[in-house]
Amino acid sequence: MKITVIGAGAVGCFYGAMVAKAGFETVLVGRPAHVDAIQRSGLRFESAAFDQHIAIGASTSAQAAKDADIVLLCVKSTDTLSAANEMRPFLKPGAVVISLQNGIDNVPLLQEALPCEVIPAAVYVACEMAGAGHLKHHGRGELIIGMSRGSAGIARLFCEAGVPTTVSADVMVPLWDKLVLNCAYNALSAIVRLPYGDIRAEAAADDTMRNLVAECLAVAHAEGVGMDLDTDRQIERIRQTIPAGQCSSMAQDLSRKRPTEIASLNGTIVRRGLSHGIATPINQAMVALVTLLEKHAGQGG
């Protein structure tokens, strides 16, 4: 069994390391700085339970997907199609691609672009790249994957690797749950560069998160998503999910002057809200502020 991870950022490195630790042949495809560090010393995996270097393959080329049985796609939503085009020539018949990405629009794009089975996954892990080839895990790590002919076996594989994984008959529900969580928290954390604990402690910021969730749920209701549409319960779920000391991945992107996924998160709510005649002014404000910060990073002192 060969597993290739396309997009060796924090999420890709976490799941790649977990399956590699379990003995599966695994290759990470990522940026040169990370690949060079991993090829020299292995992937440093730092968590509350251990701090060790994991022996794992690493490459800068999508050609590493050749002969892979499973491809874990962990790139940003803005890079979905380019990643699909790069790996398509190397996918063997019968390969399975699992989308471990934020947002709800990636799988339809992948299904259209690739000649193989594509399985959506809702990802719940708090982690970051603390340096070249250095993964820092803050907590959680479970997956919810969509139902397909191979999903039960894939879930068993991940569970054997220490990744709690369940198969959902309606994976759009956990995907929307994750979208709501991301829309409520990621942009706020990115704008103020603060972790969740500091944001939640400020009443006005907590109220803003509540309003973001309410807008998201109004759009989800109009879309006919069979999820919990109660704002209070969703807020409580977010409080139980995000570690107090965790800055969002979007905050990390802005601090490193990298493109964010704002268009695929809060931007999705704005676009779908418009299509249903639903106003989403707080999500629109998040899109505007993060886009401005992204475009003018480093300016203004």
pLDDT digits (tens, 9 = 90+) for 234-291: 999 999 888 888 889 999 899 989 999 999 999 999 999 999 999 999 999 999 999 9
- Torsion-angle region of residue 42: left (phi > 0), alpha (psi -120 to 50) or beta? left
pLDDT the model gives residue 86: 97
Are the C-beta atoms of residues 213 and 176 closer than 8 Å to each other? Answer: no
Q: Which of 298, 256, 6 lies closest to 132 in space, CA to CA? A: 256
Per-residue model confidence as pLDDT tens digits over 88-133: 999 999 999 999 999 999 999 999 999 999 999 999 998 999 999 9
Angle at 143 between CA 183 and CA 107, to 5 degrees: 65
pLDDT the model gives residue 300: 47
Phi and psi at 257, nearest 5°, equal 60, 40
pLDDT the model gives residue 214: 98
Q: Taking 70 as the threshold, does the pLDDT of residue 22 lie above it?
A: yes
- Predicted TM-score (pTM) of the model is 0.93
Are the C-beta atoms of residues 172 and 166 closer than 8 Å to each other? Answer: no
Tokens for 76?
């940003």
Alpha carbon distances (Å) from 248 to 62, 128, 193, 245, 294: 27, 9, 9, 10, 15
pLDDT the model gives residue 274: 98
Question: How far, in Å, CA of 158 to CA of 164, rounded?
Answer: 7
Q: What is the DSSP letter of 230?
A: -
Average pLDDT for residues 210-231, to the nearest whole number?
A: 97
Average pLDDT for residues 47-70, to the nearest whole number?
A: 97
Average pLDDT for residues 22-46, to the nearest whole number?
A: 97
* Tally: H helices and E strands in the chain: 12, 10
Question: How far, in Å, CA of 7 to CA of 4, rounded?
Answer: 10
Average pLDDT for residues 144-173, to the nearest whole number?
A: 97
pLDDT the model gives residue 298: 57
pLDDT the model gives residue 246: 84
H helix intervals, the chain: 10-21, 32-41, 80-87, 106-113, 151-160, 172-192, 196-201, 203-223, 231-241, 249-255, 266-275, 281-295
SS3 168: strand
Question: How far, in Å, CA of 177 to CA of 267, rounded?
Answer: 16
**Pairing state of beta strands 165-168 and 134-146?**
parallel
Per-residue model confidence as pLDDT tens digits over 4-18: 999 999 999 999 999
pLDDT the model gives residue 241: 85
Q: Taking 60 as the threshold, does the pLDDT of residue 301 lie above it?
A: no
pLDDT the model gives residue 230: 97
Q: Taking 70 as the threshold, does the pLDDT of residue 299 lie above it?
A: no
Question: How far, in Å, CA of 125 to CA of 106, rounded?
Answer: 19
Per-residue model confidence as pLDDT tens digits over 160-194: 999 999 999 999 999 999 999 999 999 999 999 99
Are the C-beta atoms of residues 176 and 225 closer than 8 Å to each other? Answer: yes
